């Protein structure tokens, strides 16, 4: 972890941070992954989404939130006029994960894996410099808030790294539990209201 902190702190920009993460050899997940999944979207966007860990399709393509869950994420944020491909930082999204490498069989990351990658996440947030964070799912909440229980946490603003952060259901969870999309729509409206300064 000391090495992770030093590498992360020394990165002056996002490209250097990506290189530092790629060169970090202490996380065993790296050995079984095809690709480092760093980020997608527009650096400098007002909203930064922090997901959990890459799945099979993310590992293959080297991008976060692709496949069915990624398409749902795009639909959700598109409903409030935002997207990862938007050229305007006011409407853009910037997306990353707690872990850049896929855990075997899509298992949950261990507390040790989360802890060793956390300095990189903190530096990533600092360099991307969003106004708001969206914490997608239990693993993101466990890593950045120190607690789980997304059903209780969602829809309630928190503070992470000195920034407002909104926990939300992960799109993969919504695909398995479609009735919960109602709560996610409510959370998106909460975010939209904050973005509009209401």
Q: Any idea of the CA torsion for 179, 183, 186, 187, to the nearest 10 degrees?
A: -130
Tell me the C-alpha distance between 125 and 28, whole Å: 24
- What mean pLDDT comes out for the span 44-62? 95
For residue 117, which of 46, 42, 17, 12 has the smallest C-alpha distance?
Answer: 17
| 198 pLDDT more than 70 | no
Distances (CA, A) of 100 to 118, 152, 189: 11, 27, 29
pLDDT in tens, 83-125: 999 999 999 999 999 999 999 888 999 999 999 999 999 999 9
State the first-to-last Cα distance of the chain, in angstroms, to the nearest integer. 40
158 beta partners: 165
Tell me the C-alpha distance between 198 and 196, whole Å: 6
- What mean pLDDT comes out for the span 21-39? 94
pLDDT in tens, 145-176: 999 999 999 999 999 999 999 999 999 999 99
Percent with pLDDT over 70 in the chain? 99
- What mean pLDDT comes out for the span 2-14? 96
- pLDDT at residue 1, rounded to an integer: 83
Q: 3.40.605.10, 3.40.1190.20, 3.40.470.10, 3.40.250.10: which CATH number matches 1-196?
A: 3.40.470.10
**pTM listed for this prediction:** 0.96
- pLDDT at residue 106, rounded to an integer: 82
């Amino acid at each position: 972890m000391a090495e992770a902190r030093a590498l992360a702190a020394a990165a002056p920009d996002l490209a250097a941070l990506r290189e530092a993460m790629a060169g970090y050899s202490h996380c065993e997940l790296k050995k079984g992954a095809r690709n480092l999944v760093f980020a997608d979207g527009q650096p400098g966007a007002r909203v930064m989404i922090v997901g959990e860990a890459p799945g099979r399709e993310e590992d293959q393509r080297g991008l976060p939130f692709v496949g069915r869950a990624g398409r749902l994420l795009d639909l959700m944020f598109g409903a409030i006029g935002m997207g990862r491909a938007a050229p305007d930082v006011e409407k853009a999204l910037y997306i990353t994960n707690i872990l850049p490498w896929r855990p075997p069989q899509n298992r949950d990351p261990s507390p040790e894996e989360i802890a060793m990658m956390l300095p990189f996440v903190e530096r990533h947030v600092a360099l991307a410099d969003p106004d708001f964070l969206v914490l997608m799912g239990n693993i993101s909440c466990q890593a950045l808030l120190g607690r789980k229980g997304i059903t209780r946490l969602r829809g309630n603003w928190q503070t992470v790294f000195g920034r407002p952060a909104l926990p939300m259901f992960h799109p993969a969870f919504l695909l398995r539990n479609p009735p919960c999309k109602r709560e996610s729509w409510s959370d998106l409206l909460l975010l939209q209201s904050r973005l509009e300064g209401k």
